[in-house]
Amino acid sequence: MKQRVNLTFPKHSISNPLAYRLARDFNIAANIIRAQIAPNQEGKMVLELSGDIDQLESAIEWMRSQEIEVSSDKREIIIDENLCVDCGLCTGVCPTTALSLDPISFRLDFRRSLCIVCEQCISVCPVEAISINL
Amino acid sequence: MAQSISDINEKIKNLTAKVLTVSELKQLVQAVGVKKATAQVDVITTGTFEPMESSGAMINLGQTDPPIKIRNCWLDGVSVYGGLGAVDLYLGASQEPEGETAMNRGGGHVIADLIAGKSINLKMIGKPNDCYPRPSFDTIITKDSINQFYLFNPRNLHQNFIVGVNSSDQTLYTYLGELKPCLGNAVYANPGAIAPLWNDPDLRLIGIGTKIFMGGGIGYVAWEGTQHFPLQKRLPNRTPVAPAATLALIGDAKQMQPQWVKGCYFRNYGASLMIGVGIPLPVIDEEVVAKASVSDAEIMTSVFDFAIARRVKPSFGAVSYAELKSGMIKIDGVKVRTAPISSIYRSLQVAETLKSWILAGEFTLTEPVAFLASDRSFVSQD
C-alpha cells in the first residue's frame, strides 16, 4: 500500500540516510515529493511510502524513535468552485499537470492524485479561489 | 444571399432568427462550407471573459445637505477621481488602496462588490465654497443608493494580444501573472478565435453604437479604445499578428450580474477587473460568415521575453492560438507549458448566453452609428 507522510527533522538528525534505511530495513520505496533540508536547520520532507502495511507501520515507529516527527495530516489544495472562473492561469505553474484545462470544455481540471502540494498555484490565482487546508 | 440588419431584427422579434455561437458557426463552415452555412444562420454570437484593467465606473452620488464639492474621495479605501462635477466620481479598476493596508484588492473589487449589491464605505473631503459649504462626509452606499452607476471602459477588447515568457533566472510578476524563470511558463491573454474582434477583423460590422453583452447587462461600443491600432501588420485572412484594434465600451452597471464582473489581483503587479463581453455579428452576407469561420490554427501572435522590461521586448517568434491552446509550445526547441489569463470556458458561456437572449427575442441588433478609425497610427513618447 501507499501512504503519504510529512516529516520534520530536528537539526541533529538530518545526517540520517533515511531513504536508504527505509529501503534496506523495511523494504519500503520512498518517493520524495518535496524536501527542504539544509545543514544546521530543521528539515522538512514529504514522502510517499509504498510497501507492506505492517512494514509501513514499523517504519513510521522507527522514524519516530529517531526523533523525526511524522504526521500524515493531509494537506490538500482546495479549489473553491464558486470563486474559480476557469481562467487556467494556475495550470502554467503546476509542475505535475495536476491542474490542467479540459481540451474541449476548457474547464479547470484538478487531479488531486498528481498534486504534490507545492502551493505555487495559490498565489498565482487572480481571484483567490485556491487555498490549502491546514 | 444578402439581408439587412432590420430584416434580421424582424426575424428576432418573430422568434424565427437562426442564431449560432461562433464556435458552432466554425464547425458548420468546416462541415458544409461558407455558402451553405450562410443560408443557415442570421446571427453569430462571440464572447470573451478576461481581465481588462483599463476599465472603470462613473458614479453620481446625489447631493448631501448642505451640499459638498468633492475633491478627494475613497470607496472602501480606494481613491476615486473627483475632479468633475461636485458629486461625479470615476473609480478606476486598477486603482489600489494607499499605504500598507493593501490586501490584494483594488478598484475592480469595489466595482464588482457594488454590482453584487454589497454596501461600500464612502469617505469624501470637499472644498467648501458658497455653493457647496460642506467640508467632509462619510457614508455607506450601495448601487441602489446612488444615481448613475455605469462602466465606461476606455480600453476593453483587444483584437489580439502578446504571449509573455521569462528568460531570466527569477520569477517576474506581470500583468500576465507570474512568469516563471528560465521559460518556466508562457501566458497568453486572448481566448482566441471565439473572441469578438477576430471574427470581424476590419470592423465592418462593429462600430460606435453597436449594442453588446457587457457584464451580463446591455452595453454599447462607445468609441475606439485607447491604443487602437488598426494598421497593425495583418495576415492574408486580415487578422492582425499583434495587438491591433481595441474598443471603448459603456454600459449600465446596475444591470450587470456578479458572475460576469469579477475583481481580480495579480500578485506583485496589481488589481484589475474581469468582465464578460459578447458581440453579436449580423449575417448580412457571405463575407460575414467567411471572416467568422477563422480558426485558432489561422490566427497568430508573438511570444515576448518579459526579462527585458523595455517598450520593445525581444521576441521568440510567432505561434498560433491552436498551439497556445494545446497547453504546450516550443520555444528554441524547449517545451514550455502555456496558460491563458482569460477564461475560455466563460468566453464560450458569454456567447451562449447572448445567443439565448437573441433566440428569446430579447436582444436585437444595431447598425453602427459611425465606423471606428481604420487608419490610426501608434505613437510612443521618446
The pLDDT value recorded for residue B1 is 63
In 3-state terms, what secondary structure has residue B348? helix
User: In this structure, what is the dihedral angle of CA atoms A81, A82, A87, A88, given to the nearest 10 degrees?
Assistant: -20
The pLDDT value recorded for residue B99 is 75
**Sequence-distant (≥ 6) Cβ neighbours of residue B196 within 8 angstroms:** B46, B47, B48, B157, B206, B277, B278, B279
* Range 97-156 of B in CB contact (< 8 A) with A: 104
Q: Nearest CA of chain A to the CA of B261: how many Å?
A: 11
Domain count, chain B: 2
Q: Respond yes or no on whether ipTM tops 0.85.
A: yes
Give the domain-ending residue among B95, B126, B146: B146
Rounded (5°) CA angle B27-B31-B32: 120
Question: Chain A: which residues have CB within 8 Å of chain B?
Answer: 85-93, 100-101, 103, 105-107, 123-124, 126-128
Burial label for A133, CB within 10 Å (0-12, 13-18, 19+), is exposed
Candidates B78, B187, B66; CA nearest to B137 is: B66
DSSP symbol at B234? B
Residue with cell 489581483: B265
The pLDDT value recorded for residue B311 is 84
User: Does the residue B197 lie in any domain?
Assistant: yes
For residues A111 and A63, state if they share a domain. no
Q: Which residues of A touch B51 (CB under 8 A)?
A: 126
**From A63-72, B87-96, B121-130, the region with the lowest mean pLDDT:** A63-72
For residues B137 and B213, state if they share a domain. no
Q: Which residues of B touch A79 (CB under 8 A)?
A: none
The per-residue pLDDT for range B272-296, each reduced to its tens digit, is 999 999 999 999 999 999 999 999 9
Alpha helices (runs of H) in chain A, residue ranges in sequence order: 18-26, 53-65, 120-124
**Sequence-distant (≥ 6) Cβ neighbours of residue A100 within 8 angstroms:** A91, A94, A108, A109, A111, B327
Q: Which of B73, B131, B182, B264 is catalytic?
A: B131
The per-residue pLDDT for range B220-268, each reduced to its tens digit, is 999 999 999 999 999 999 999 999 999 999 999 999 999 999 999 999 9
The per-residue pLDDT for range A36-65, each reduced to its tens digit, is 887 777 888 888 899 999 999 999 999 999
The pLDDT value recorded for residue A35 is 83
Q: How many residues does chain A have?
A: 134
The pLDDT value recorded for residue A130 is 97
Summarize the confidence of residues B205-212 as an average pLDDT. Answer: 98
Range of the domain at B117: 62-146
For residues A129 and A81, state if they share a domain. yes
Give the orientation angle of helix B344-359 with respect to helix B22-39, to 10 degrees. 50
For residues B202 and B300, state if they share a domain. yes
The pLDDT value recorded for residue A66 is 87
In the sheet that holds A69-71, the strands lie side by side as A29-36, A43-50, A2-9, A69-71
Give the domain-ending residue among B127, B146, B165: B146
**From A39-43, A126-130, B162-166, B326-330, the region with the lowest mean pLDDT:** A39-43
Residue with cell 456578479: B258
Q: Which residues of B touch A103 (CB under 8 A)?
A: 325-327
For residues B139 and B234, state if they share a domain. no
Domain count, chain A: 2
For residues B32 and B73, state if they share a domain. no
For residues A18 and A67, state if they share a domain. yes
> Phi first, then psi: what are they for B58, rounded to 5°?
-90, 135
The pLDDT value recorded for residue B80 is 97
Of A79, A80, A81, A86, which to mutate for an interface test with B (greatest number of B Cβ within 10 Å)? A86
Q: How would DSSP label each residue in B245-281?
A: -BEEEEEEGGG--GGGEEEEEETTTEEEEEEEEE-EE
B264 included as an active-site residue = no
- Whether residues A128 and B104 touch (CB distance < 8 A) is answered with yes
For residues A45 and A67, state if they share a domain. yes
Q: Which residues of B touch A123 (CB under 8 A)?
A: 178, 267
The pLDDT value recorded for residue A42 is 82
For residues A80 and A67, state if they share a domain. no
Choose among B180, B267, B343: nearest Cβ to A86: B343
Cα–Cα distance, B251 to B220 (Å, whole number): 6
Judge whether B262 and B162 are in contact, CB under 8 Å.
no
List the grid coordinates of B177.
501573472
Give the orientation angle of helix A18-26 with respect to helix A53-65, to 10 degrees. 140
User: In this structure, what is the dihedral angle of CA atoms A75, A79, A82, A84, given to the nearest 10 degrees?
Assistant: 150
Walk along chain A (134 residues) and give the pLDDT tens digit of each residue.
888 888 888 877 777 788 899 999 999 999 888 888 877 778 888 888 999 999 999 999 999 998 888 887 677 899 999 999 999 999 999 999 999 999 999 999 999 889 988 899 999 999 999 999 86
For residues A101 and A118, state if they share a domain. yes
Beta bridge partners of B318: B302
For residues A35 and A65, state if they share a domain. yes
User: Does the residue B237 lie in any domain?
Assistant: yes
Summarize the confidence of residues B33-40 as an average pLDDT. Answer: 98
CATH, residue A39: 3.30.70.260
For residues A80 and A127, state if they share a domain. yes
For residues A6 and A67, state if they share a domain. yes
Range of the domain at A38: 2-72
For residues B174 and B114, state if they share a domain. no
Give the domain-ending residue among B122, B146, B170: B146
User: Between the CA of residue B115 and those of B54, B291, B352, what are the distances in Å?
Assistant: 18, 35, 22
* Range 239-268 of B in CB contact (< 8 A) with A: 262-267
